[in-house]
Structures are given as C-alpha cells and as structure tokens.
Structure 1
Amino acid sequence: MQSDGTASLEATRTDRAVHQDEERGGSPVAGPGASASTVYTDLGDAIGSARDFTAAFLRARADEGTDIRPRTVEDARLVVSELVTNVVRHAAGPCRVDLELAGGMLEISVSDAYRAAPTAHAPDPGRVGQHGLEIVLALCASVDVEPLPDGKRVRACLVVD
C-alpha cells in the first residue's frame, strides 16, 4: 500500500520485464474487422463481460478465416480477465479494452484512470494472490505500460498463430 492509500499492481516474473513506454502515443490503427473496443463504466460485471467480448472478437475473426487456435482464445480470455481484474481492484472506472489482431499477434490494451504502473517483483511461491500480472507475463510475448494524461494503458501482445 502506498502512502496515499492506493495499491500497486504486482507481478513476479523477473525474466520478462514490464516496462513503461513514455514515448508511445496514440491508439492502434487496424484494418476493418481487425480491431474492437469497449468501455466499462460500471465495473461490476466488467471482468466477465471483457472475457466474453474477447472470445467473441477472436471467434468472429476465426469465422472470417483467420487461423486462431482454441487455446489462444482461452489464453486471451485469461489475459483480459487478469488485466481487467486489476482495474476493478486498483482503479476507479472507467475501463477501456482495445483488441487489435495483426501479423499473428493479438494486442490487448486495457486503460484505466489509475496512474501508477504495475511493478514486477521477484517470485514468491508463498504469496497468496497478486499473481495476475505474473500470469499475463507468462502468456504474452510482451507487456508494456503507457502513461496517459488521465491514467495508464497496459498493452499485452499474445501470439495467435
């Protein structure tokens, strides 16, 4: 807990760092059908809704002919679930979820109004809970944090093919 009473997001993966990207700006740009976004102002059902939103997006792309393994859909649902859970636990709404599928990668971006960036910590098998970002780091090719004027965006890239 920080001195202002806010909690920080924690991860325990030391071989793949979470880093802040001070210079990366703007939103991803993608062709038609390759991206989708949604905003949750009521965080009460945001976690389950974000999982369903992600699965529907990937299944629609698969129906259009994109090669997406069933395991990828489940991994993406888990990544979104963990990132949105962190928003629900550590930030006041709203929460925005952006999905972009390009070049065999799914970029999952979750934005919130909490400015503090996640912090990676050394592994601790005795710690109960607070393993969400650790799971994201284990599943994704990269994870970065971009500060925004009104919060932050966490971007996680998951290989889909």
Structure 2
Amino acid sequence: MRGEAGLLADLASLVVPFAAHEHEAVFTVEQSSRVDADIPGRHTKNLFLKDTGGAFWLVTVPAEARVDLKALPAAIGCKRVSFGKPDDMARLIGIAPGSVTPLAMINAAPGSVTVVIDAGLAAADRMNVHPLRNTGTLGLAGADVLRLLRHWGHAPVIAPIPVIAG
C-alpha cells in the first residue's frame, strides 16, 4: 500500500496542481456539507460496491446525488450491486469507511476494483476528494483524477450515473 505519502509523491512527480484543505473528520455527506461550504469546486461522495458476480466497484458521484442503485448496473455494465464490506475495502483499497476516495486506487492492484467517475465530475475543473483520510480534502481537476487512475494502471469508467429525482 503506497498510502498518502505515495499519493503526494505522484502528485508532485506528475505535476498535478491541487488545493489541500485540512478539516475535522467527516463521515457522512451531511457532515461534509459543513466543511464543503468553504471549499470551492464540485464535492463528491463515493460508493464501494460489490456486484452479484463478485466484482468490486468504486463509484464517485456528486455529493448531492441520490444514486439509483437499481438502474446503476445497466449504466456501468455490471450485475446487481450491494455495498461492499469494510474488510474488503481495507484489503482492496487500503482505507476505512468514511475515507473512500478514487485516489485510494493508488493502493489497489490493477483489475481488482473498477472505478467509475460520474461524467460531470470527470469534466469538472475542480472536484474535491479525500486524500485517503476523512480529515482532509484535495481539490483537483477531473481530468487529473483520471490521469492519476491511469498512471496507477486502472481504466476508469466515465458514465452518467442514474439518480433518483427529488
């Protein structure tokens, strides 16, 4: 596991611009909204999922999105999904619930988890994600998140994520 030190080293070596923000620990979107108000850019939430075929998925969506989990499999090309277990999360991407981020893919073996980024976030000038812990936020371009994922050997899926209206 390369961890946050590896992440910061890769950001520097690839010359990825980012803004770092330290804050209190946040575990939910509701808690995050209190610190997000002072951080510009698109805020995110992440779903660590397992499909009925046994494949793992990390789906990054806008923080305010209510993902339609019944429609999601057709949108991203998998079988029915449920939330992954914390021990699988720790084993595969090296983090705990509350700190989930696409940047945790630095710790994942290529092919072990499929990462999906909402199309709007992938195109964002600035998306905000955790730096492998829930006491900080990194703001970086969606294109740079995709570049990091590819650098680590992952093939991110960019998709419009189905949401529940309301």
Q: TM-score of the superposition, structure 2-length normalised?
A: 0.29
Q: TM-score of the superposition, structure 1-length normalised?
A: 0.30
